[in-house]
Structure 1
Amino acid sequence: MTQPAPGPTALITGATSGLGAEFARQLAEEGHHVVLVARDGDRLRAAAHELENNYSITAEVLSADLTDDAGVAAVVERLSDPARPVEILVNNAGIGLLRSFEENTVEEERRHLRLHVQTPLELCHAALQGMLARRSGRIINVASVAAFANRGTYSAAKAWQVTFSRWANLAYAGHGVKVTAVCPGFTHTEFHDRMGMDKSVAPRWLWLHADRVVREGLADNEHGRSVSIPTKRYKVVATVARMLPARLTSGPPKRPLQ
């Protein structure tokens, strides 16, 4: 069997489904070797096999729980390996919490915060060491258009990703590193199904397809934009959300607290 040619490597978290799988596919199509990170080892291996067969690249698998210190440490170790540099980091892994803040357990909220804030921070820090030394690298943090609204701890966590990405892009662009927060709206993936969300709450025109979100996100990152909001409709949504009073972007009223 012919060995794939040497080329840049991209590491994608949450890579077995949804946006993560699409980032892996499009990057492989561009000729990048990939490191796929997720919890489910069987799905990782199946995804890696498909990418290698379809695009003649190498696909490593790294099974890790990114809400766990040991899992994060394993990914940090891979990002820090100077013999196998990672040119592109995609922080995509995420979860949602369907209930209100006061109805969730503190442990659920801690895991949510860890996955959306602390883990991307640690992985960005690890990846930047090699990228800055090489004066070349790209980081994509998959945030959400919810970052521009006021929807509990999910919005708060995604707002952190947007603020961090804006700052990091300014701080490191002159050193050859581009950092972008990709902010999709409702997107057809497994994300909402895992939450148990009724997808009919959003009208059909608001739903996006993963291939477009990823394509626009990669293009915006390549062009050095710190924030990528796919489609004109969601650019308008984000602009309006930033101008409205907080009480109008906080979602439907909750039941009275007892």
Structure 2
Amino acid sequence: MKTIKNKTVLITGASSGIGEAFAYELAKQGANLIITARSEDKLIDLAHKISKEYNVKVNVFTGDLLKKDTPVKLYNQIKEAGLTVDLLINNAGFGKWTNFLDESIDGYEEMIEININALVKLCYLVLPEMLQKGDCGIINVASTGALQPCPYVAAYCASKSFVLNFSEALYGEYSKKGVTITALCPGNTTTGFQSIAKANTQGMTADTAETVAKQAISALLKKKSFKIVGTANYLQSFLPRLLPRRSVIMIVRNMMNDRVNSRKLV
């Protein structure tokens, strides 16, 4: 994409955290918004604040992406409202820090549904029209956890590995056809993710959601296929290339084991 100004952006998981930060930053740059999440009250409040502060249009559609039919329903609502999507930000998602067997299979199914299935469906739905218009984009929120196997966060990090590889594959297909697809890989970020994941991030450096959103938009406009947020995170991303995979697994296992066990003692 060449510019954000006057584009229409669909943001999932927009009611808090990185999604909310995306909404403010994009509105600041002159984009009109379509925001969605499960919490209607939060979305309406956010829409009111943003439209008043930045004088942009903000449309609200509530929906639960844990339900298989929500992406299609959401897309149909957008079309019925006479809107088109120039930029899709697949931000909705969640994870859990725990021993693999300490989480329910239903929990893992929900994680896969929102982190992978809903993301793929929304990309599939918006891409045809984006290709017709050109100068469009997609930001899929992955994680630095996507860069290596992560014991104690196995399903979450594996789902984000899917997001990273899927996004870069789409970049290979469509970047020369007017649609840039960027995989965003933030590390520890000051959002509500830690509470839901029951993650012990004490002592870990953290980026703000605002920093993550700004760097993601900048990477998209520079037509990058991925963006790792934070210099330290970027340097750490080289470890799986330099060390044997078993060594990487053991390093992450030892780090995460301490954090999971210390969390249980609190």
Q: TM-score, normalised by structure 2?
A: 0.87
Match in the other structure for 1:18: 17
Shift of 1:106: 1.1
Deviations 1:20-40 (A, max 9, x none): 000011111111110111000
Residue in 1 that maps onto 2:252 = 249
Q: Which residue in 2 is equivalent to 1:46?
A: 45
Structure 1 range deviating more: 102-111 or 6-15:
6-15
What is the match of residue 26 of structure 2?
Answer: 27
How far is 1:199 from its partner? 2.9
| Residue 183 of structure 1: how far off its partner (Å) | 0.2
Q: Is the deviation greater in 230-239 or in 28-37?
A: 230-239
Residue 98 (str. 1) matches residue 101 (str. 2): no
Give the counterpart letter for 1:215 in structure 2: K
What letter is aligned with 1:226? S
CA shift digits 1:67-113 (9 cap, x unpaired): 10232222232455694211010000011123222121111100000
Report 1:81-230 matches (<5 A): 83-151=82-150, 152-200=154-202, 202-203=203-204, 206-230=205-229
For residues 239 and 158 of structure 1, what CA distance do their matches in structure 2 show?
A: 17
Q: Deviations over 1:135-162 (max 9, x none)?
A: 2311000110000121201111000111
Find the aligned partners of 1:36 and 1:71 in 2 and give their Cα distance.
14
* Larger RCO of the pair (alpha carbons < 8 Å, separation 6+): 2
Query: Is 1:79–1:123's contact at 8 Å kept on the other side of the alignment?
Result: no
Report the alpha carbon displacement of residue 165 of structure 1 after superposing the two structures with TM: 1.0
SS state of the match for residue 95, structure 2? coil
CA distance in 1, matches of 2:80, 2:135: 16
State the number of aligned residues: 247
Deviates more, 1:129-138 or 1:77-86: 77-86
Question: For the Cα contact (< 8 Å) 1:80–1:127, is it kept in 2?
Answer: no
Instruction: Give the drift of 1:210.
Output: 1.3
* Amino acid in the other structure paired with 1:145: T
For 1:178 and 1:78, how far apart are their aligned partners in 2?
A: 24
What residue in structure 2 maps to residue 3 of structure 1?
A: none
Determine helix, strand or coil for the equivalent of 2:182: strand
Contact 1:13 / 1:36 at 8 angstroms: preserved in 2? yes
Aligned equivalents of 1:81 and 1:146: distance in 2? 38
Q: 1:90 is matched by which residue type in structure 2? A: I
CA–CA separation in structure 2 for the residues paired with 1:155 and 1:89: 22
Indicate conservation of the 8 Å contact 1:165/1:180, yes or no: yes
Q: CA–CA distance in 1 between the matches of 2:197 and 2:52?
A: 32
Contact 1:80–1:126 (CA under 8 A) maintained in structure 2: no
Structure 1: segments with no counterpart, 5+ residues: 1-5
Alpha-carbon RMSD: 1.9
2:83 is paired with a residue whose SS is coil
Once structures 1 and 2 are overlaid, which stretch shifts more, 243-252 or 108-117? Answer: 243-252
Matched-pair contact (CA < 8 Å) for 1:75–1:123: no
Using the alignment, how far apart are the partners of 2:185 and 2:80 within structure 1? 30
Shift of 1:194: 2.5
Give the secondary structure class of the aligned counterpart of 1:252.
Answer: helix
* Contact 2:87–2:136 under 8 Å retained in 1: yes
